[in-house]
Amino acid sequence: MATIQFQDIRKSFGDTEVLKGVGLNIADGEFLSLVGPSGCGKSTLLRILAGLESQTSGSVRIGGIPVDGLHAADRDLAMVFQSYALYPHLTVAENIAVPLTMRRLSPAQRLPVIGRAFPGSAAMRAEISTIVRDAADMLDIGHLLERKPGQLSGGQRQRVAVGRALVRDPAAFLLDEPLSNLDAKMRVHMRTEIAQLNRSLGATFVYVTHDQAEAMTMSDRIAVMMGGELLQVGTPDALYDFPNDIRVAQFIGSPAINILPVETDAGGAIHLCDRRTGLRAGGPPVEHLGVRPEALAPCDDDELLSGRVRLIENLGSDLFVQLDVPGVPLPVTLRLPPSERGKVKVGDLMHLRAAEGRICGFDVAGKAASVATLKRVASHV
């Protein structure tokens, strides 16, 4: 069990800088997800932590101790790979046992056949096989121990890979997109299993994924990375409700947040397509507004925006309505409860307002900028 600190990690391949100074502290026992689109540097950061790649500058500490220059084998970390990276020529039991045999048996004891003759070898092997069996039972793969990875399904291979990480009792678990090779149903199932594993082991988990839904459902905290930079680190709720960057707002949440291009006049009032919105900038001028689909609600007059219904998506539990709004390039999405089914038709004109405090503002650089409703400002005057 250990804390993990990244201190200003930079990494370049030739002229391209893939990590531009990442600093991040991970608490002991925390489940932290590194999330971002592909190529954002999240896997590189994980591999630097693992010791599989070296950073160009900066420092990594595990349990407060710098591990830079330390071989991957000596960092006391376990990793689950996207491809599972199981040794195809070894049985499930042998695969899970590898980290133990490599660490606990001497090179002589590891030799095939004759290795067993060395003193202490038999006892140690018995101990290892007990640990392997326990881990396998815990993951519900006890009946597969004698199979080869080639004979297993994707989900079973996944469990073997987790088992191989588990037997080590490492300081932290690193998981690199471990669910991306599974089918949709299995993915949802393994999501809960991995989250439970984190709770029951109490170990630190660093989880890399490009799927924001995975990160949202499993993590204690999420670190959003883009273009080699850490944009925001926070709990799933904080990221969802208070994104500090327009790119975070757009990346987190499905369906995506509605982004409305707006103008802030000299007095601070915010205009959408030359109409006042009843909102004003609390600080710097606001360039964009972000509103989650569930934060929008129909109303009688034009409070925030109005548009014509372009498409209705009925998911059963939810009804998503897309509106064409003048001045907004992308359709605006609105979530309605299933009770509204059949009441809205394509072509209808709808007026929308936003729930109190659920509008985010972003300045010209895309950073969060405060937004206040005019009413409250008026009462202050």
Partner 1 sequence: MCDALTLSSAASKPQKIARPERRQARAGMALFAPALILLVVILIFPVTVAALLSFTDYTLGRPGISWVGLRNYVDIFSGSSYRKMIVATVLYVLIVVPVSVFLGLGAALLIRSLKVGQSFYKTVYFLPVMASLLAMAIVWEFALHPTLGIVNRTLAMGCGTPVEWWSWFAHGCTEGFPLWLGDRDYALYTLAFIGIWQSFGFNMVLYLAGLTSVPSDLYGAASMDGVKRGWERFRLVTWPMLGPTTVFVVTITTIRSFQVFDTVEALTHGGPAKSTYVMIYAIYQKGIAQNLVGLGAALTVLFLALVMLINVAQRRFIERKVHYQ
Q: Which of 18, 28, 85, 220 binds partner 1 (CB under 8 A)?
A: 85
Asked whether position 79 contacts partner 1 by CB under 8 A, the answer is: yes
Query: Token match 């899970």: residue?
Result: 96
Q: Which of 27, 73, 117, 349 binds partner 1 (CB under 8 A)?
A: 73
- In angstroms, the CA 324 to CA 28 distance is 48
Considering only 23-31, 143-151, 290-298, 337-345, which stretch makes contact with partner 1 by CB under 8 A? 143-151
Q: Which of 1, 25, 89, 192 binds partner 1 (CB under 8 A)?
A: 89
* 164 φ, ψ (degrees, to nearest 5): -65, -35
| Residue closer to partner 1, measured from CB, 111 or 269 | 111
| Residue closer to partner 1, measured from CB, 75 or 353 | 75
Residues contacting partner 1: total by CB under 8 A:
32
Nearest approach, Cβ of residue 252 and partner 1 (Å): 28
Q: Which of 40, 45, 60, 78 binds partner 1 (CB under 8 A)?
A: 78
CB-based contact 22:229 (threshold 8 Å): yes
Q: Which of 24, 26, 41, 51 binds partner 1 (CB under 8 A)?
A: 51
Considering only 22-30, 100-108, 120-128, 287-295, which stretch makes contact with partner 1 by CB under 8 A? 100-108
Asked whether position 131 contacts partner 1 by CB under 8 A, the answer is: no
Burial category of 116 from C-beta neighbours within 10 Å (exposed 0-12, middle 13-18, buried 19 and up): exposed
| Residue closer to partner 1, measured from CB, 97 or 323 | 97
Asked whether position 103 contacts partner 1 by CB under 8 A, the answer is: yes
Q: Which of 18, 72, 131, 188 binds partner 1 (CB under 8 A)?
A: 72
| Residue closer to partner 1, measured from CB, 159 or 335 | 159
19-48: contacts with partner 1 (CB under 8 A): 47
> CA separation (Å) from 48 to 110, 204, 209?
29, 17, 16
| Residue closer to partner 1, measured from CB, 73 or 346 | 73
Asked whether position 99 contacts partner 1 by CB under 8 A, the answer is: yes
Q: How far is CA 295 from the centre of its chain?
A: 23
- In angstroms, the CA 68 to CA 74 distance is 11
Asked whether position 81 contacts partner 1 by CB under 8 A, the answer is: yes
151-210: contacts with partner 1 (CB under 8 A): 151, 164
- In angstroms, the CA 263 to CA 169 distance is 55
| Residue closer to partner 1, measured from CB, 149 or 307 | 149
Q: Which of 15, 71, 123, 300 binds partner 1 (CB under 8 A)?
A: 71
Asked whether position 375 contacts partner 1 by CB under 8 A, the answer is: no
Nearest approach, Cβ of residue 261 and partner 1 (Å): 43
- Contacts with partner 1 by CB under 8 A lie at 47, 50-52, 71-74, 77-79, 81-90, 98-99, 102-103, 107, 110, 148-151, 164
